[in-house]
Amino acid sequence: TEPRSFAAVDLGASSGRVVVGRVGGAELALEQAHRFPNEPVRLPGGLHWDMLGLYREVLRGLRLAAGHRPVSVGVDSWAVDYGLLDATGALLGLPHHYRDTRTDGVAARTAEELGSERLYALTGMQFLPFTTVFQLAAARDSAALDAAATLLLVPDLVNYWLTGQIGAEVTNASTTGMLDAATRAWLPGLAEAVGARPALLPPLREPGTTVGELLADPARSTGLTGTPVVSVASHDTASAVIGVPATTPEFGYISCGTWSLAGLELDAPLRTEGARRANFTNELGVDDTTRFLRNVMGLWLVSESMRTWGLDAAALPALVDRAAAAPAFAALVDPDDPRFLAPGDIPARIDAYCRETGQTPPRGRAAVLRCILESLALAHRRTLRTAAVLTGRDLRVVHIVGGGARNALLCQLTADALGLPVLAGPVEATAIGNVMVQARAAGLVGDLAGMRALIAATQEVRRYEPRGAEADWAAAAARIGWE
């Protein structure tokens, strides 16, 4: 088949990009049309996303992609955050950032009121304080929520601005805490339970369906008149999991960017008491798959430390090299400690954590980075080993996709900690997953296994063999009380 192009808009928590994917026959080639930073803005009312700035960059990226004459456009982004529209379709205020403190205390209280066990039985969601349903609880009785007619998650909001069509894509909807993991349908009673009108939740759509055509204005300004927008797996992590170049069913994955989303792909949700206690989520994937995973704090710890140090992202590779030469297992933290969630001075919080736990705090940037990366590797080990036990699966290989695949030290430490080979890449797995679902809607690729075989055959993947002693990692895990 003659290769054709597709435009993927992928908004990550740290940067956004518009990527053009050429797909056809044995070919899958990616080209970045545009990349832009995603910098939140603090207002008196809290921490917000610069939604209009992001949309402007999306349009700029689509204009840059237009020369490739894409067959369609697809949009994915980070999960849980939303904009509210009034009955005329006007946006009611800027979307809050999930790291805003407005859910502090509210989330735990709401989960307790609704019953954690009951919630898990219904939604299969891990407890995260910023899950949409808890954000709604925090916004209860606000003017915006009172005036709102529709709630749109970020990719659905971008799709609405592009096409005028309203809907909720199901993989991302599964992160709201208001979706039934088994039936893939809304649980309207949960919106109601936190004081939000169930009518706020738009009709659901599955990946692969058409959202609509570009409205006159975005069509003119981008040069994409007549191009349809296709519903992709709009949760970035769902697209990233499609983009895992697995060639065996016995794989674990880590979608490693701002967060490390570590887990397995299942045929159906697993909502056992053990899964709930270990705080595993059952987010939805394409083709009726379940993403059984857990959020690990991820490279946020690195990027926020870099920000604290006043270092540019370009300084990271050299710092990683220095961290690789720093002493091993000098200091360890639980990356998921809630103190690390909000923006701020992460190195100072690591210092405090180490003092509280009787460890000598790391001194110097390379030592801090070593501490973060070893702690993340340890969290990857704990999460994937727990997932294997909970599901009765055997893991033979772990895929790392996303920006973290560029961090050779983290990939090696993760292989060492798990005692399994790590296959790193593609870095742009999310954009690839986005492109794949569009290509399938155009009839160019087959099922999930076929997509992954194409990715494995065409994209660069680096292999890391496990090294070192299991006993060292077991001792490290014991030191932070994990084994």
Q: Is the peptide bond before 203 cis (omega within 30 degrees of 0)?
A: no
Q: Does 241 bind ligand LRH (CB under 6 A)?
A: no
Binding mask 69-98 for ligand LRH (x = CB under 6 A): ---------xxx-----------------x
For the annotated catalytic residues, the residue numbers are 236
Segment contacting ligand LRH (CB under 6 A): 26-34, 231-239, 383-391, 406-414?
Answer: 231-239
* Contact with ligand ADP (CB under 6 A) among 194, 302, 366, 378: 302
- Pairing relationship of beta strands 251-256 and 397-401 according to DSSP bridges: parallel
Segment contacting ligand ADP (CB under 6 A): 89-97, 265-273, 316-324, 445-453?
Answer: 316-324
- For residues 83 and 152, the answer to whether their CB atoms sit within 8 Å is yes
In the bound state with ligand LRH, the residue whose beta carbon lies nearer, of 78 and 251, is: 78
- For residues 227 and 219, the answer to whether their CB atoms sit within 8 Å is yes
- Minimum CB separation of residue 6 from ligand ADP in Å reads 19
- The closest of 286, 288, 305, 297 to 261, measured between CA atoms, is 297
Other beta carbons within 10 Å of 466: 17
Segment contacting ligand ADP (CB under 6 A): 129-137, 206-214, 298-306, 342-350?
Answer: 298-306
- The closest of 479, 273, 263 to 388, measured between CA atoms, is 263
Distance CA 183, CA 177 (A): 14
Calculate Rg over the CA atoms of the chain: 21
Q: How many residues bind ligand LRH (CB under 6 A)?
A: 13
Long-range pairs, 103-109, Cβ under 8 A, ≥24: 103/129, 103/130, 103/134, 103/135, 103/137, 103/138, 104/129, 106/134, 106/137, 106/138, 107/131, 107/134, 107/137, 107/138
In the bound state with ligand ADP, the residue whose beta carbon lies nearer, of 14 and 116, is: 14
In the bound state with ligand ADP, the residue whose beta carbon lies nearer, of 306 and 439, is: 306
**Out of ligand LRH, ligand ADP, none, which partner does residue 413 contact, by CB within 5 to 8 A per kind?**
none
- The closest of 297, 407, 311 to 353, measured between CA atoms, is 297
Q: Does 263 bind ligand ADP (CB under 6 A)?
A: no
* Contact with ligand ADP (CB under 6 A) among 4, 12, 167, 423: 12
In the bound state with ligand ADP, the residue whose beta carbon lies nearer, of 297 and 299, is: 299
In the bound state with ligand LRH, the residue whose beta carbon lies nearer, of 251 and 259, is: 259
Residues forming contacts to ligand ADP in the complex (CB under 6 A) are: 12-15, 257-258, 299, 302-303, 316-317, 320, 402-404, 406-407
